[in-house]
C-alpha cells in the first residue's frame, strides 16, 4: 500500500522534533483532511451500529443486548489501547520490519501540527483506530450467546495488542509484508483473514452452544440484520475509499470497485441459494453483500471494475457455499465469521494475483494480465503469514484464558440468556402476549429511587 508507506516514512521524519530536515515540510491539504475525517466517522459507523445490528439481529432475543454491549465495549477499550500503544506499534517509526516500536506510545509526538503526509497525523491515527476497533468486533460473531463479558474483554485486549497491532505494521506500517509487495489496500489480510481465522480458533476453543446444531437458533430479527448490512455497506466506502488517505482519482476508483463488487456478490449469493435451497432469502442478500465488501477490501485499488465484479461474484458464491462447512466440520461459528470474513478475505487477497491490472492505481499486473504468478505468490505469502500468525496466537491467548478465568458462561446462564445474567437486562419489554405492551412490567417490583 504505497501511500501508507509514504506516510509511515513521513511520520518517521516528524517523530523527532529536534531532527534537521533536508526536505521542505508537507502542507496540510484540506480536501484530503475533510475526506479522511468523514471516512473515520464512516468506519466507526460500520461497527456502531452497522456490525452491532447485523450481528444483533442474528442472535436469539435473550442474547441481543450482549452482542450490542460487546461491540460498544470493544470500541471503547480498543480506542484506549490504540492511544496507549496501538498506534505506535502499528505505525511507529522503529527500524524493525515487525513492529513500529513504542516511541509514539500515548500519541507522544502527535501534536496539533504534526502531519502524516498531507493530513494531520491525528486524523490518520484516528482513522486507523477505527480499523483497530472493527477487527476484534468481527470476531464477536464466533462466540456469541456463550462468552463471559469479562473474558471477552480480556481476550480482545490481548489479541488486539499481540496480533492486530503487529500485523497492521507488517501490512501497512512499513513492515515486512508491505515491503515485500503485498497488495492489501484496506485490510483483506490485516482485518478479514486475521479476524476470520481467529474466529475459527475461538469457535473451536469455546465449543458449540448448548444444543447446537439440533436445537433451532433462528435469528430473532432479520429486519435488524438487513439494516445492519445496509449500514455496513454505507460505512465501508469510508473503509475502502478512505484507505487512500486522500480524495483523488484512486479513491474514486476504489469507491466504484467497492460498489460493483458488493452488488455482484449479493447476486452471486442469491443465485447460489435459489439453486441449492430453492429460495433466495433476505439473509442471503445481506450476507452476500457483506461477503462482497470483504472480498473487495484488499483488491479495490488493484483491479478494474470488471475485475471487481468478478471478485464479488466469486466471493458471493463461495461464501454462500462455505457457511455450510461448519455443519460438516462440526464447529459452531455462530454468525459465520469464518465463512464470510476468512473465505471472503482469502478470495479477495488471492484473486489480486490473478486479476490485478496495471491500469488500476496499484499498478501491478496479475496472472491474467501478463504479470505471471509473481504477485499471486506475494498475495499467498501475505495471506498465509497473517493466517498462521493469527491462528497460533489466538489459540495460545484463548487457551490461557480458558484454563485460568474461563471463557464460557455456565449452562444455566446460557439457557436463560446472557443478557439477563451478564448484564441484568432484557432487551424487549412488550409483555408475553403482546397486547400493545399492556403486559409489560407486570411481575416486576421496583426498588429504584428509594433511598
Partner 1 sequence: MKLVTAIVKPFKSDDVREALSEIGISGMTLTEVKGFGRQKGHTELYRGAEYVIDFLPKAKIEVAVEDGIVDQVIEAICKAANTGQIGDGKIFVSNLEQTIRIRTGETGNDAL
Q: Rounded to the nearest whole angstrom, what is the least distance from the CB of residue 265 to partner 1 in the complex?
A: 14
Q: Which three cell numbers stand for residue 343?
A: 473465505
Least Å from the CB of residue 347 to partner 1:
17
Among 181, 207, 219, 371, binds partner 1 (CB under 8 A): 219
Which residue has cell 507522544?
A: 108
For partner 1, the binding residues in 253-292 under the rule CB under 8 A are 273, 276-277, 279, 281, 283-284, 287
**Could you say whether residue 428 binds partner 1 (CB under 8 A)?**
no
SS3 content of the chain, % helix, strand, coil (to 5): 70, 0, 30
Smaller CB separation from partner 1, 98 or 327: 327
Write down the least CB distance from residue 319 to partner 1, Å: 10
Question: Which of positions 328-387 make contact with partner 1 (CB under 8 A)?
Answer: 336
Shorter beta-carbon distance to partner 1: residue 216 or 443: 216
Nearer to partner 1, 101 or 219 (CB): 219
Name which of 234 and 327 has its Cβ closer to partner 1: 327
CA 207 – CA 71 distance, rounded (Å): 21
Q: Nearer to partner 1 by C-beta: 218 or 445?
A: 218
| In the complex, minimum distance from the CB of residue 416 to partner 1, in angstroms, rounded to a whole number | 22
Helix (DSSP H) and strand (DSSP E) numbers for the chain: 20, 2
Which of 11, 189, 22, 16 has its CA nearest to residue 100?
Answer: 11
**Nearer residue to partner 1 within complex by CB, 67 or 186:** 67
Q: Which is nearer to partner 1, 283 or 380 (CB)?
A: 283
Write out the H or E segment, with its range, that includes residue 420.
helix 418-423
Nearer to partner 1, 240 or 334 (CB): 334
How far is the C-alpha of 169 from the C-alpha of 97, rounded, in Å? 8
CB of 390 to partner 1, least distance (A): 24
Rank residues 83 and 325 by Cβ distance to partner 1 and give the closer one.
325
What is the maximal distance between C-alpha atoms in the chain?
Answer: 78
Q: What is the gyration radius of the CA atoms in the chain, in angstroms?
A: 22
Q: Which of 27, 412, 424, 433 binds partner 1 (CB under 8 A)?
A: 433
Spatial CA neighbour of 145 closest among 63, 30, 201, 255: 63
Per-residue H/E/C for 160-219: HHHHHHHHHHHHCCCCHHHHHCCCCCCCHHHHHHHHHHHHHHHHHHHCCCCCCCCCCCCC
Q: Measured from the CB atom, is 133 or 226 closer to partner 1?
A: 226
Minimum CB separation of residue 222 from partner 1 in Å reads 9
Instruction: Quote the least distance from Cβ 407 to partner 1, whole Å.
Output: 25
Minimum distance from residue 271 beta carbon to partner 1 (Å): 13
Total binding residues for partner 1 by CB under 8 A?
19
Q: How far is the CB of 324 from partner 1 (least distance, A)?
A: 5
- Show contacts with partner 1 in window 159-218 (CB under 8 A): 213, 216, 218
Coil vs helix vs strand at 62: helix
Q: Give me the DSSP letters along 106-163.
A: GGTT--SS-EETTEEHHHHHHHHHHHHHHHHHHHHHHHTTTB-HHHHHHHHHHHIIII
Residue position matching grid coordinates 442478500: 285
Q: What gap in Å lies between CA 147 and CA 149, rounded to an integer?
A: 6
Q: Which of 129, 134, 145, 64 is CA-nearest to residue 290?
A: 134
| Sign of the CA dihedral with 195 first, then 200, 201, and 205 last | positive
Query: Which residues in 310-329 contact partner 1 (CB under 8 A)?
Result: 320, 323-324, 327
Quote the least distance from Cβ 283 to partner 1, whole Å: 6
The residues of the shown chain that bind partner 1, judged by CB under 8 A, are 213, 216, 218-219, 273, 276-277, 279, 281, 283-284, 287, 320, 323-324, 327, 336, 433-434
Amino acid at each position: 500500500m504505497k501511500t501508507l508507506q509514504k506516510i509511515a516514512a513521513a511520520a518517521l521524519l516528524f517523530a523527532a522534533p529536534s531532527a534537521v530536515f533536508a526536505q521542505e515540510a508537507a502542507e496540510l491539504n484540506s480536501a484530503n483532511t475533510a475526506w479522511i475525517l468523514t471516512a473515520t466517522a464512516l468506519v466507526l459507523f460500520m461497527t456502531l451500529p452497522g456490525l452491532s445490528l447485523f450481528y444483533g439481529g442474528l442472535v436469539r432475543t435473550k442474547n441481543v443486548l450482549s452482542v450490542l454491549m460487546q461491540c460498544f465495549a470493544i470500541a471503547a477499550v480498543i480506542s484506549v489501547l490504540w492511544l496507549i500503544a496501538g498506534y505506535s506499534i502499528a505505525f511507529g517509526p522503529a527500524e524493525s520490519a515487525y513492529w513500529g516500536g513504542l516511541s509514539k506510545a500515548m500519541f507522544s509526538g502527535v501534536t496539533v501540527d504534526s502531519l502524516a503526509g498531507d493530513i494531520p497525523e491525528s486524523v490518520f491515527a484516528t482513522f486507523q483506530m477505527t480499523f483497530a476497533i472493527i477487527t476484534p468486533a468481527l470476531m464477536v460473531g464466533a462466540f456469541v450467546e456463550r462468552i463471559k463479558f469479562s473474558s471477552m474483554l480480556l481476550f480482545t485486549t490481548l489479541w488486539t495488542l499481540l496480533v492486530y497491532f503487529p500485523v497492521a505494521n507488517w501490512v501497512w506500517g512499513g513492515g515486512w509484508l508491505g515491503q515485500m509487495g503485498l497488495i492489501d489496500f484496506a485490510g483483506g489480510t490485516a482485518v478479514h483473514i486475521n479476524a476470520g481465522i481467529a474466529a475459527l480458533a475461538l469457535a473451536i476453543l469455546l465449543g458449540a452452544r448448548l444444543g447446537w446444531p439440533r436445537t433451532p437458533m433462528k435469528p430473532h430479527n432479520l429486519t435488524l440484520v438487513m439494516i445492519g448490512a445496509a449500514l455496513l455497506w454505507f460505512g465501508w466506502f469510508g473503509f475502502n475509499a478512505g484507505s487512500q488517505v486522500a480524495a483523488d482519482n484512486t479513491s474514486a476508483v476504489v469507491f466504484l470497485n467497492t460498489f460493483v463488487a458488493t452488488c455482484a456478490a449479493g447476486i452471486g449469493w442469491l443465485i447460489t441459494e435459489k439453486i441449492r435451497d430453492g429460495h433466495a432469502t433476505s439473509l442471503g442478500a445481506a450476507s452476500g453483500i457483506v461477503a462482497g465488501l470483504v472480498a473487495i477490501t484488499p483488491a479495490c485499488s488493484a483491479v478494474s471494475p470488471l475485475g471487481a465484479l468478478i471478485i464479488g461474484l466469486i466471493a458471493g458464491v463461495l461464501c454462500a457455499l462455505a457457511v455450510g462447512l461448519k455443519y460438516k466440520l462440526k464447529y459452531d461459528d455462530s454468525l459465520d465469521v469464518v465463512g464470510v470474513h476468512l473465505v471472503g478475505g482469502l478470495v479477495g487477497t488471492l484473486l489480486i494475483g490473478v486479476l490485478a491490472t496495471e491500469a488500476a492505481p496499484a499498478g501491478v499486473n496479475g496472472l491474467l494480465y501478463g504479470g505471471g504468478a509473481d504477485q499471486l505468490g506475494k498475495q499467498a505469502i501475505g495471506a498465509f503469514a497473517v493466517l498462521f500468525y493469527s491462528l497460533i496466537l489466538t489459540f495460545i491467548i484463548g487457551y490461557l484464558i480458558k484454563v485460568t478465568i474461563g471463557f464460557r458462561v455456565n449452562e444455566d446462564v446460557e439457557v436463560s440468556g446472557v443478557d439477563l445474567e451478564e448484564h441484568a437486562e432484557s432487551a424487549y419489554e412488550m409483555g408475553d402476549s403482546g397486547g400493545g405492551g399492556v403486559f409489560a412490567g407486570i411481575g416486576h417490583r421496583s426498588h429504584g429511587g428509594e433511598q
